[in-house]
Structure 1
Amino acid sequence: MDPFLLKTLHIVGALGAFAGIGAIIAAADDKHRKLAGALHGISLLVLLLMGFAMLKKPPMDQHWWQVKLVIWLFIGAAPAFAKRKVLPAGALVGICLALGATAAYLALAKPF
């Protein structure tokens, strides 16, 4: 598959995941919260599949992609944190944005 298409779909998955988090936090009723949860889950699946498709075979001597996977697992659990009010909504969004920026840095710099 074309690397440009894979990267584009990977970015679309990330945007959808963050849009889902925002919509879950802002949702007024359960119907909208369920739709936002579906957007979040599907976007994370697209993100995961396109990420592994770009890696083709994960480099076992590098660990940046494993750290990225853990970051995205936290972002995947963010709706549960929002529902249970573990963190205030503003703090949760800020943490998710900071982790998303860290994941982007890891993908671009591949520091380790």
Structure 2
Amino acid sequence: MSYNFYKVIHLLGLMLLFFGFGGLLVSMYARVELKKAARIMAYACHGVGLLFIFVSGFGLAARLGLVAGLPTWVQAKIGIWLLMGVGISLVKRKGYIGWPVAVLILGLGTTAAFIAVNKPWM
């Protein structure tokens, strides 16, 4: 598959991930009990988004010829995405505090984007 295909899937995964975070975070902050179907949708968007990010990320790394050894910037991004995977439990348990959780999640996403664009440890 082409580099552009993997890039689009990567961005789709990013959108799904933050869509899942947002749905759950807003309901927790507003102290509104989501119906079961809505909770399942938020968790599914989060999970499918992470899956798309990981699969397409490794596809992008392969297209860049980074299969033999992953550079430090790729390892840092993998670590950030793993933290984002665990972050859904933070939103579920502490989402009622609102902005600090949202800033943490957005900060992680921004850091991953900065690393991807600048590749600081090439």
Q: What TM-score results when the alignment is normalised by the length of structure 1?
A: 0.90
Once superposed, what is the RMSD of the aligned Cα atoms? 1.8
Deviations, residues 6-65 of structure 1 (Å, cap 9, x unaligned):
101101101110110011122432411121001100110011000001101446262001
User: Which structure carries more relative contact order (alpha carbon 8 Å, separation 6+)?
Assistant: 2
Does residue 78 (structure 1) correspond to residue 87 (structure 2)? The answer is: yes
Alignment size in residue pairs: 112
> Structure 1: which amino acid aligns with 2:86?
A
**Are residues 22 and 101 of structure 1, via their aligned partners in 2, closer, same or farther at CA, if it must alter by over 3 Å?**
same
Identity %: 32
Q: Which residue of 1 aligns with 2:24?
A: 24
In our comparison, the structure showing a higher alpha carbon Rg is 2
Structure 2 residue runs without a partner (length 5+): 28-32
The separation in 1 between residues aligned to 2:51 and 2:92, in whole angstroms, is 21
The separation in 2 between residues aligned to 1:101 and 1:8, in whole angstroms, is 18
Q: What TM-score results when the alignment is normalised by the length of structure 2?
A: 0.83
